[in-house]
Amino acid sequence: MKIVIIGGGTAGWSAAAAIARLLPGIADVRVIESADIGIVGVGEATLPHVRQFVQQLGIDEAAFMRATHATFKLGIDFRDFGRIGDSYIHPFGTFGRELAQVPFHHFWLESRKTGSPPDIGRFSLAVQAARAGRFQIPRDDDLSLASSYGYAYQFDASLFGPFMRDFAQAHGAQRTEGRVVEVRQDPETGDIASVTLESGESFAADLFIDCSGFRSLLLGETLEEAWEDWSHWLPCDRAIAMPTASPPGEIEPFTRATALEAGWAWRIPLQHRVGNGYVYSSAFLDDETAAESLRRTVQGPALADPRLLRFRAGRRRQSWVRNVVAIGLASGFLEPLESTSIYLSHMAIMRLIELFPVGGINPADRAEFNRMVDKEYDRIRDFLILHYHATTRSDSPFWDHVRTMTVPDSLSGKMEMWKRTGRIEKYGEGLFFEPSWIAVYLGQNIVPEGWDTRAALPEPDGLVRALDGLQQEIGALVQAMPGHRAFLQAEAQRLADAA
C-alpha cells in the first residue's frame, strides 16, 4: 500500500518511523518535506507516553536521549496560577497509596478535619524527587512505592525530527525534498489522487498523511474540513520563544510554567541549553511587551533572538476524511501548557496503525479513528481550561476574562462533582487520570466539601501516624536517588562503555 506523508516535522517523521518499523512489507512510505518552508521547531516537553512510543519502535532510550540532548521530566511546576505566590507540581505519578480501594486523597481530605496536613505533594514521590532535583528510573514492581511514578523527556525539538528521519529511512522510508504546489483530487470520489512538487514531479498514493503543520495543506486547504475554534476558552494565540544558556548546578527534572500577565511562560531545561517561551493572548498583550516580559523573566544569557509563533486553539472537525489522515498541527492545536501536542501525534499514529486500511478504507474504521481523536482533544481541552479558570487572580484583564468565562458543560460537570464529592471522572485510556486532576484542583485551591465516607473509618491518630510514615518513606527514597545531572552523566557513560 502506497503512503505519502506531506511534512517532515516531528509529526511527519514520527509517522514514517512508526509505519515503516511496525508495518514492514505492508506499507511503502514516502515523506515529502520542504527545507524552504521548514518546521515549527518548538515542542520540547513531552508526556510519559512518548516513552512507550519510542519503546514500541525498539529505539534505545540512552541513544535517543544523547542524540536529542534530552533530560528527564517528572512533571510540571505551575507557579502563580491559582494565586500569585502559589506553586504546585503536576507529577507523573500518584499521591500516596489507596487503601481498601479508597483513593489516598480522600484520607488526606479527612485528615484536614483534625489538623492541617502537609501539602498533598508531600505524599508524591515524583513531586519530592522533582523538588530535590533528583532522578532515578522507577522500579518495575507495582507493590513498591518506588514504582509510583513515571517520567517523560525534555528534548531539542530541532533534533527529534532528524533522529526519527534517520530511523525511518533505516527501515525503508523514502524522502523527497520539495514544495507541494498542486493537489489533484479524483473527480469521481473526491479522494486525493496525487500531489505535484515545484519540480513538476508527481506522487500518487492510496493514503495521504497530512503532517504539513498549521497549513493543513490537504485536510484544511484542499478538503476544506471545518475548523472548530476553541479560542473563546483558550485565548492564548501567540508565543515568543527564546533559548538561554544552561545555568551551572543541578538540572531541574521538570518543566516550569509560570503564569504571567496575559498567559504563562515555559522553562524547559535540556542538557545543553534551556528552552523558554511566553505563551500569551494577543487580545490582551502586544508582541513587543511580551518579548520584553520574557527577557525579564529568563535566567542566563540568551542564545538567540526571540522568535514569534502564531496559532489558534481548536481542531479540524474530523482528522481522517476520505483518504487523508491529518496528524500533528495539521489536525489541530491545543497550547503547550500540559505538553500534549506530540502526545496527540503519537496517539493518532498508533491508532492509525491499529486501524490500518490494508484492504481499502472502511468508513467504520475511519469513524472509529475520528471518535478516538475527538475524545482525546475534548478531554485535554477541558483540563487546560481548568488551569485558567480555577484562579482567584484579578490582577489583569486576561485573568479577569478566564476567571469569569463560561466553561464547557463537560468541564463544569467535572468541577461540580469534585467540589461536592472529591471524585474524579474515571476512564480507561488516554490522558490525565485521577492524580492529574487532583494536582490541579488542590494546587489551585479548589478543595472539595465532601469526600468518601470510608475515609473516616481509621482512628484519627492512626491516620496521622500513617501519613507521617508515608512521608518518611518517600523522604528516604528521594535521599537514595542520585541528582538528575549525575544520573544523566552515568547514563551517558553507560552508553559510551557499551559502544
* Closer CB to ligand FAD, 321 or 442, in the complex: 321
SS3 207: strand
Dihedral of CA atoms 282, 285, 289, 290 in degrees, nearest 10, equals -60
Given candidates 29, 43, 389, 470, which one binds ligand FAD under the rule CB under 6 A?
Answer: 43
Dihedral angle, C-alpha 20, 24, 27, 29, nearest 10 °: 30
In the bound state with ligand FAD, the residue whose beta carbon lies nearer, of 221 and 365, is 221
List Cβ neighbours of 157 (8 Å cut-off, separation of 6 or more).
10, 40, 41, 42, 43, 44
Give me the least distance between CB of 312 and ligand FAD, in Å please.
Answer: 10
Of 253 and 328, CB closest to ligand FAD? 328
Rounded to whole angstroms, how far apart are CA atoms 318 and 316?
5
Let me know if 73 is a catalytic residue: yes
Taking CB under 6 A as the rule, does residue 159 contact ligand FAD? no
CB of 176 to ligand FAD, least distance (A): 9
Cross-strand partners of 155: none
The CB-of-203 to ligand FAD minimum distance in angstroms stands at 11
Q: In the set 20, 23, 39, 207, which binds ligand FAD (CB under 6 A)? A: 39
Of 220-279, binders to ligand FAD (CB under 6 A) are 239, 277
User: Taking CB under 6 A as the rule, does residue 435 contact ligand FAD?
Assistant: no
Of 138 and 336, nearer to ligand FAD (C-beta) is: 336
Which one among 19, 20, 45, 352 touches ligand FAD, defined by CB under 6 A? 45
Nearest-approach distance from CB 127 to ligand FAD, in angstroms: 20
Instruction: Give 243 or 277: the residue with its C-beta nearer to ligand FAD.
Output: 277
The interface mask with ligand FAD, positions 319-358, x = CB under 6 A, is ---------xxx-----x--x-xx--x-------------
Contact region for ligand FAD (CB under 6 A) — 10-18, 75-83, 297-305, 357-365?
10-18
In this chain, which of 97, 215, 312, 419 binds ligand FAD, going by CB under 6 A? 215
Q: Which CB atom, from 166 or from 468, has the smaller least distance to ligand FAD?
A: 166
Q: Closest distance between ligand FAD and the C-beta of residue 75, in Å? A: 14
Q: Which of 170, 176, 162, 208 is nearest to 20 (CA)?
A: 170
Rounded to the nearest angstrom, the gap between the alpha carbon of residue 426 and the centroid of all alpha carbons in its chain is 20
- On whether the CB atoms of residues 330 and 209 are closer than 8 A, the answer is no
Query: Of 2, 73, 375, 419, which residue is the catalytic one?
Result: 73
Q: Is 44 in the site for ligand FAD (CB under 6 A)?
A: yes
Looking at the Cβ atoms of 310 and 375, the one nearer to ligand FAD is 310
Find residue 279's DSSP bridge partners.
239, 264
CB of 222 to ligand FAD, least distance (A): 11
Phi, psi of 209 (to 5 degrees): -110, 120
**Cα angle: 214, vertex 220, 222; to 5 degrees:** 125
Q: Specify which residues 3 forms β-bridges with.
A: 29, 207
CB 315 → ligand FAD: shortest distance, Å?
12
- Residue 2: enclosing H or E segment and its boundaries? strand 2-6
From residue 384 to residue 413, the character string flagging contacts with ligand FAD as x (rule: CB under 6 A) and all else as - is ------------------------------
Q: Is 48 in the site for ligand FAD (CB under 6 A)?
A: no
d(CA 445, CA 327): 36
In the three-class reduction of DSSP (H, G, I as helix; E, B as strand; rest coil), residue 29 is classed as strand
Q: Which stretch binds ligand FAD (CB under 6 A): 6-14, 137-145, 312-320, 447-455?
A: 6-14
d(CA 265, CA 191): 42
Question: HEC states along 229-277?
Answer: ECCCCCCCCEEEECCECCCCCCCCCCEEEEEECCEEEEEEECCCCEEEE
Query: Nearer to ligand FAD by C-beta: 380 or 474?
Result: 380
Strands 71-73, 152-154: pairing kind = antiparallel
Cβ nearer to ligand FAD, comparing 181 with 447: 181
Instruction: Tell me the per-residue interface mask from 164 to 193 with ligand FAD, x by CB under 6 A, - otherwise.
Output: ---------------xx-------------
Q: Are strands 274-280 and 152-154 parallel, antiparallel or unpaired?
A: unpaired
Q: For residues 356 and 27, what is the distance between their CA atoms, to the nearest angstrom?
A: 10
Q: Which residue has the cell 496521622?
A: 464
Please name which of 148, 10, 144 lies closest in space to residue 75, comparing C-alpha atoms: 148
Q: How far apart are the first and last CA of the chain?
A: 37
CB of 61 within 8 A of CB of 51?
yes
Strand order in the sheet with 2-6: 174-177, 28-33, 2-6, 207-210, 324-326, 320-321
Assess 46 for contact with ligand FAD (CB under 6 A). Answer: yes
Binders in 105-134 for ligand FAD, by CB under 6 A? none
Mask 283-322, x = binds ligand FAD (CB under 6 A)?
--------------------------x-x-----------
The answer to whether the Cα torsion of 207, 210, 217, 372 is positive or negative is: positive
**Binds ligand FAD by CB under 6 A, chosen from 18, 34, 109, 209:** 34
How many residues line the site for ligand FAD (CB under 6 A)? Answer: 39
Q: Rule CB under 6 A: which residues touch ligand FAD?
A: 6-12, 32-34, 37-40, 42-46, 157, 179-180, 211-213, 215, 217, 239, 277, 309, 311, 328-330, 336, 339, 341-342, 345
Q: Catalytic amino acids?
A: 73
